[in-house]
């Protein structure tokens, strides 16, 4: 039982053997942290640039040729109209489709096609939804370049995400509760309306709010259907012409004068704040959902 000391038989670890692994781990961490730091730096820059313009006047002002007095009220109002209408359209459609796929559809070619199609739609560039909206909602249906046409377009864009999150919410409702309801003589719709929907509603809403947080920054499809870039009035009906916050940011960014870039930075701060607000609301809802124990 002698200790053999040929290189292979020497069990000892050499420091050099661990070095490459440690170095690789460091590189891996950098690959994650560096892009995040870059983003932080960019936001820091935008916040500093925007600081002098951030104030009540900016939020309640109308656009102007003079950068110093221009505000985002019409853009904010337009985005609010858009989000409200989009939610009104996307929630029933998305929830309906999710209910159909989860509770009603039987495995068939058509069901498989619908599922495949939802996946496909999620990969279609958003600007193509804009072309769809331009042709169908603006021209064929005759909505014109209205806030309603914009909302319809965004609703179709959000639909895959709303359907997917709603299906997940429906799946969290235990099968045993459905069976209990059936055993009491309730039919399928009664079971869904009285038992399943109330339980999964917070989950569905969370998904919808997260989708809206995405939609509020969508720019390309709205430009394509012809949202205006200079609006000095507030939308007063679903048929009004409109602008939206990201469009206003785009407009100011496209101008050569640095003063407008400052306005764009301020618009970005407001837009990100709104997104954070929506995400926060979703997280709050989800927390509430998890606190409620059903079973």
> Contacts with another protein in 201-240 (CB under 8 A)?
213-214, 216-220, 223-226, 229
Q: Rounded to 5 degrees, what angle do the CA atoms 222, 223, 228 make?
A: 95
Q: How far is the CB of 230 from another protein (least distance, A)?
A: 11
Rounded to whole angstroms, how far apart are CA atoms 76 and 135?
Answer: 26
Q: How far does CA 160 lie from the centroid of its chain?
A: 11
Nearer to another protein (CB atom), residue 189 or residue 288: 189
Interface residues for another protein in 112-141 (CB under 8 A)? 113-114, 117-121, 123-132, 134-136, 139
Task: Check residue 70 for interaction with another protein (CB under 8 A).
Answer: no
Q: Which is nearer to another protein, 77 or 266 (CB)?
A: 266
End-to-end CA distance of the chain: 63
Residue 57 and residue 80: Cα distance in Å, rounded?
19
Question: Is residue 2 helix, strand or coil?
Answer: coil
Residues 241-270 that bind another protein (CB under 8 A): 246, 249-250, 253-254, 261, 264-265, 268
Q: Out of 100, 230, 284, 294, point to the residue binding another protein (CB under 8 A).
A: 100
Q: Give Dmax (Cα) for the chain.
A: 93
Q: Considering the complex, what minimum distance in angstroms separates the CB of residue 283 from another protein? A: 11
CA distance 155 to 72: 24
Which of these ranges, 53-61, 65-73, 74-82, 104-112, lies near another protein under the rule CB under 8 A? Answer: 104-112
């Amino acid at each position: 039982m002698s200790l053999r000391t040929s290189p292979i038989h020497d069990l000892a670890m050499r420091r050099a053997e661990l070095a490459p692994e440690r170095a690789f781990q460091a590189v891996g961490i950098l690959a994650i942290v560096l892009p995040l730091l870059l983003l932080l730096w960019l936001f820091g820059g935008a916040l500093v640039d925007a600081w002098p313009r951030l104030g009540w006047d900016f939020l309640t002002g109308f656009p102007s040729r003079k950068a110093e007095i221009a505000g985002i009220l019409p853009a904010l109002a337009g985005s609010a109209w858009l989000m409200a209408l989009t939610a009104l359209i996307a929630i029933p459609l998305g929830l309906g489709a999710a209910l159909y796929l989860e509770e009603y559809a039987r495995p068939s070619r058509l069901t498989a096609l619908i599922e495949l199609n939802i996946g496909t739609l999620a990969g279609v560039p958003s600007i193509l939804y804009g072309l769809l909206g331009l042709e169908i909602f603006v021209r064929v249906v005759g909505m014109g370049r209205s806030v309603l046409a914009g909302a319809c377009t965004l609703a179709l864009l959000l639909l895959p995400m709303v359907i997917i999150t709603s299906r997940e919410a429906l799946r969290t409702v235990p099968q045993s509760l459905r069976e209990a309801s059936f055993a009491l003589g309730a039919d399928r719709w009664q079971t869904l309306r009285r038992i399943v929907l109330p339980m999964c509603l917070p989950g569905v809403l969370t998904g919808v709010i997260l989708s809206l947080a995405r939609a509020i920054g969508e720019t390309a499809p709205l430009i394509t259907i012809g949202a205006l870039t200079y609006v000095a009035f507030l939308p007063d009906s679903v048929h009004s012409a409109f602008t939206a916050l990201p469009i206003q940011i785009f407009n100011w960014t496209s101008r050569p004068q640095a003063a407008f870039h400052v306005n764009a930075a301020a618009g970005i701060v407001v837009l990100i704040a709104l997104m954070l607000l929506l995400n926060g609301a979703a997280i709050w809802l989800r927390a509430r959902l998890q606190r409620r124990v059903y079973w």
